[in-house]
Amino acid sequence: MQLTKKPLRIREMVVIVFMVIGLKGGDTTPALFADHAQNAIWLVPVVSFLCLLPPFLILMYLLKKHEKYNLVELIFHLLGKKLGTVLSLLLFIGGFVSMSVDMRNVMEELNYLYFPESPTIMIYAIFLGICIIIANKGLETIGSLTWALIPIIILTILAVMTVDLRDAVWQRIFPILGDGPKTILVDGISKSSAFLEIFLLTIAYQAFHQTKDFRIGIYTGGILSCILIVTFYAIYAMVFDYNTINNIAFLYQESTEIVSLGHFFTNISTFFMIGWLFSTFLRFIIFLYILCWIFGAIFEIKRFEGLILPVGIVSMILSLIPPSFSINELVIRETSLQIITPLFLIFPFLLWGTDRWKNRGKT
């Protein structure tokens, strides 16, 4: 897509990153981490972020060095047409699988907790329909929409935190290493691609007013998301205990269900659904848009908005294959993340290596 005016600035970037990465504090990702790490659930994302940091910094360094490229163009520039296509396609597939699996999880969550009578496919269709319509409007709309909705979402997050903290017992964070340092490291590294979106977002490197806006935005957003995720996971560990936490699938909703505010507000969990729903919509709108953008960039499709509908539908069909939620989360998501992770951890180094190789004569 040719953006001529490039109206997006830092604040939109911050909220986009926050929406895509940070709100993994509220979906089913914690249940995935808690499965092995138990009450050290909050240390796992710390390990993941530390592990993702070097490749990410290298990617950012390369993008800064080659000012006028975005992610796919950079790969093409450095690796050439053929290898570049292969690598970019692999990245796309990684993102695509992760989106499909995530989407199924969110759908099940929505279906199971809020609309138990409705058929999954119906909720799915409506959800996807809205995502596709909004994603079609382009990055500018998405950016401003995200910025406009952020107050509601922040309000929800703060409210959930205060409510949850009433029931939290801080001693439950001990024994501090949970299942042991090995589990934390292995889990943190092998599942670090749960946050792979941060790499894919670099496709939008050229879409901002200045590239500096993008850099500041992605760093600020990343740090904020990291803080949010770690705090939320720590709160989950403090609200539930270590043996209970790995039995619960929807920690965010469940944690709001067990607290009551006095006599009158006994069932308050539904209040927190609104912000959660908004954030989920935005998250998948952004994710879908970014993926189509990457796909469009690989095959040089200028008007890639046309891809949103087919990509969305294919993703929905694929994600409906797993027979149940728990298999989807604990088997498929876990395995797919373990397969995808090495790719995302290595490819920036590969790019960096070729960059050095190409420049060896010049210096």
What three-state secondary structure class fits 261? strand
**Dihedrals φ, ψ of 69, to 5°?**
-110, 155
Give the per-residue contact string, 31-70, with other proteins (x = CB under 8 A; - = no). -------xx-------------------------------
Nearer to other proteins, 170 or 357 (CB): 170
Nearer to other proteins, 162 or 335 (CB): 162
Nearer to other proteins, 112 or 219 (CB): 112
**Of residues 11, 89, 136, 257, which one binds other proteins by CB under 8 A?**
257
Binding status of residue 81 toward other proteins by CB under 8 A: no
Binding status of residue 117 toward other proteins by CB under 8 A: yes
Which listed range, 82-90, 93-101, 256-264, 348-356, lies at the site for other proteins (CB under 8 A)? 256-264
Half-sphere exposure of 102 (CA within 13 A, CB side): 29
59-63: Cβ within 8 A, 24+ apart: 59/199, 59/202, 59/348, 59/351, 60/202, 60/215, 60/218, 61/352, 62/348, 62/351, 62/352, 62/355, 63/202, 63/205, 63/211
Min dist CB 337 to other proteins, Å, is: 23
Binding status of residue 252 toward other proteins by CB under 8 A: no
Min dist CB 46 to other proteins, Å, is: 16
Min dist CB 30 to other proteins, Å, is: 17
Binding status of residue 176 toward other proteins by CB under 8 A: yes
**Cα angle vertex 187, ends 287, 246, to 5°?**
90
**Of residues 181, 306, 310, 353, which one binds other proteins by CB under 8 A?**
181
What distance in Å separates the CA atoms of residue 230 and residue 131, rounded to the nearest whole number?
Answer: 28
**Cα angle vertex 271, ends 269, 276, to 5°?**
90
Total residues in contact with other proteins, by rule CB under 8 A: 39
For the packed helices 139-167 and 10-20, what is the interaxial angle rounded to 10 degrees?
50
Which listed range, 114-122, 137-145, 228-236, 331-339, lies at the site for other proteins (CB under 8 A)? 114-122
Binding status of residue 178 toward other proteins by CB under 8 A: yes
Min dist CB 257 to other proteins, Å, is: 5
Nearer to other proteins, 22 or 30 (CB): 30
- Running DSSP on this structure, what letter comes out for residue 330? I
Of 8, 3, 2, 5, nearest to 217 by C-alpha is: 8
Binding status of residue 265 toward other proteins by CB under 8 A: no
Give the per-residue contact string, 196-235, with other proteins (x = CB under 8 A; - = no). ----------------------------------------
Of 13, 14, 12, nearest to 147 by C-alpha is: 12
**Of residues 162, 210, 247, 335, which one binds other proteins by CB under 8 A?**
247
Q: Which residues contact 321 (CB under 8 A, 6 or more apart)?
A: none
**Of residues 3, 83, 149, 177, which one binds other proteins by CB under 8 A?**
177
Binding status of residue 324 toward other proteins by CB under 8 A: no
**Cα angle vertex 355, ends 354, 356, to 5°?**
90
What three-state secondary structure class fits 177? coil
What distance in Å separates the CA atoms of residue 119 and residue 7, rounded to the nearest whole number?
Answer: 41
What distance in Å separates the CA atoms of residue 209 and residue 7, rounded to the nearest whole number?
Answer: 6
* Residues binding other proteins (CB under 8 A): 38-39, 112-119, 122, 126, 169, 171-172, 174-181, 240-244, 247-248, 254, 257-260, 263, 266-267, 269
